[in-house]
Amino acid sequence: MADHAPVASYPVGLRLAGRRVVVLGAGQVAQRRLPALLAAGADVLLVSPSATPSVEAMATAGELRWERRRYREGDLDGAWYALILTDDPEANAAASAEAEARRVWAVRSDDADAATAWTPATGRAAGVTVAVLTGQDPRRSAAVRDAVVDGLRDGSLAAPHFRAPAKGVALVGGGPGDPDLITVRGRRLLAEADVVVADRLGPRDLLDELPPHVEVIDAAKIPYGRAMAQEAINAALVEHAKAGKAVVRLKGGDPFVFGRGMEEVQALAEHGIPCTVVPGISSAVSVPGAAGISVTHRGLAQEFTVVSGHVPPGDPRSTVDWAALAQLRGTLVLLMAVENIPAIAAALIAHGRPAGTPVAVVQEGTTAAQRRVDATLETVGETVRAEGIRPPAVIVIGDVVAVGTDAGTA
């Protein structure tokens, strides 16, 4: 086919479940194609004398049948579709001839003109399969595919549901604050929402991007101050979901890490309202990370423990065994502990954690206002006071605090 001739092809979606697909050759191209064939449920017969380690692993796992030999006439018997991908042009030509004779659609990695089918550049996002063919310019196909998939993922390409409008509530973990640290699923659901119930923490900047018709309800829970009662939040979620709205409950970090997420799931379940939980990046790990602290480090910390410090040691409401925590040698990550850090540090020292243990306090991590202050267990209470540290902050206790690079993190 001449390069300049417009190339006509007819796109279809093959439903391959349980149907034989023959793949000849097991190099890089096969490695890229096989996962989608397997995901479609195809009965894959692979014929190749050798295979890449990843393809071999698929055979070992029983995902496909591998015959370790070269192509031979008759291999396409019973096939619905064939991928001719060997590095032997003669074998490819012979397999193409067999495919033609048997009326099996076949792609060719070495000669697109000789193929009877072309593989589009494909991707999936927002429940949509995107497949792009641009004639003989695969890089352009991939670029168009990427543009569409990216747009669907981040919500910049609106893809409304006409058959089954989004219903119920999505409980979305928004990450620690940087708007880039929400998941792609969370961002897409946010773009599709009619109502957003948002916390004070999390990616507040994303709310500015919402279209004007979206109702934003502020569920700000300011520590030790004004708070919208959890019951009121639950009631708002129920009310808007019952009105048929697509509701996003946007929470800081991960919904199930000190986020009362399960209480909201339970409240919705009581009213028979479906709820999708979208995990988020918790501040417990990401805020230390953004400040250059790895909560584990080989040979130094083989565990990290995340603890809420919102009630002090000895308080009857506390369920934390501070004496046991003091015996651990790994990393302690404290959330909601700014107010109580003097009492917590004193309890840890009293129960055996060395007073000189390094401590870092990271305020407003991952945001433009991020600030890190270092101390020891003995000095942290006074340092927090003297430096005017305010919530939200994550406090990291342990030897990992002293590990780092001169280059820091970006």
Catalytic annotation, residues:
199, 221
CB of 329 to ligand SAM, least distance (A): 23
User: Is residue 80 classed as helix, strand or coil in its secondary structure?
Assistant: coil
CB of 281 to ligand SAM, least distance (A): 8
47/190 with CB nearer ligand SAM: 190
Cβ 337 vs Cβ 344: under 8 Å: yes
Q: Residue 345: what residue type?
A: A
State the Cα–Cα distance between residues 248 and 245, nearest whole angstrom: 9
> Which stretch in 60-68, 120-128, 297-305, 363-371 sits in contact with ligand SAM by CB under 6 A?
363-371
Interface with ligand SAM, residue 177, by CB under 6 A = yes
CB of 362 to ligand SAM, least distance (A): 6
59/389 with CB nearer ligand SAM: 389
Interface with ligand SAM, residue 304, by CB under 6 A = no
DSSP assignment of 1-51 equals --TTS-----------TT-EEEEE--SHHHHHHHHHHHHTT-EEEEE-S--
Number of residues that bind ligand SAM (CB under 6 A): 24
**CA 303 to mean position of chain CA atoms:** 23
CB of 309 to ligand SAM, least distance (A): 8
> Which stretch in 186-194, 242-250, 358-366, 398-406 sits in contact with ligand SAM by CB under 6 A?
358-366
| Candidate residues 66, 118, 258, 304; the one interacting with ligand SAM per rule CB under 6 A | 258
Cβ count near 219 (within 10 Å): 21
Rg (CA), the chain: 28
Interface with ligand SAM, residue 86, by CB under 6 A = no
| Candidate residues 123, 168, 203, 252; the one interacting with ligand SAM per rule CB under 6 A | 252
58/170 with CB nearer ligand SAM: 170
State the Cα–Cα distance between residues 102 and 20, nearest whole angstrom: 14
User: Is residue 90 classed as helix, strand or coil in its secondary structure?
Assistant: helix
Closest CA to 342 of 385, 404, 387: 385
Interface with ligand SAM, residue 293, by CB under 6 A = no
53/388 with CB nearer ligand SAM: 388
Interface with ligand SAM, residue 257, by CB under 6 A = yes
Binding mask 377-396 for ligand SAM (x = CB under 6 A): --------------xxxx--
User: Is residue 114 classed as helix, strand or coil in its secondary structure?
Assistant: helix
Binding mask 326-345 for ligand SAM (x = CB under 6 A): ---------xx---------
169-173 and 128-132 as β-strands: parallel, antiparallel, unpaired? unpaired
| Candidate residues 48, 283, 294, 340; the one interacting with ligand SAM per rule CB under 6 A | 283
Cβ 253 vs Cβ 329: under 8 Å: no
Crossing angle of helices 184-191 and 138-154, rounded to 10°: 70
User: Is residue 219 classed as helix, strand or coil in its secondary structure?
Assistant: coil
Which residues contact ligand SAM (rule: CB under 6 A)? 176-177, 201, 252-254, 257-259, 282-284, 287, 335-336, 362, 364-367, 391-394
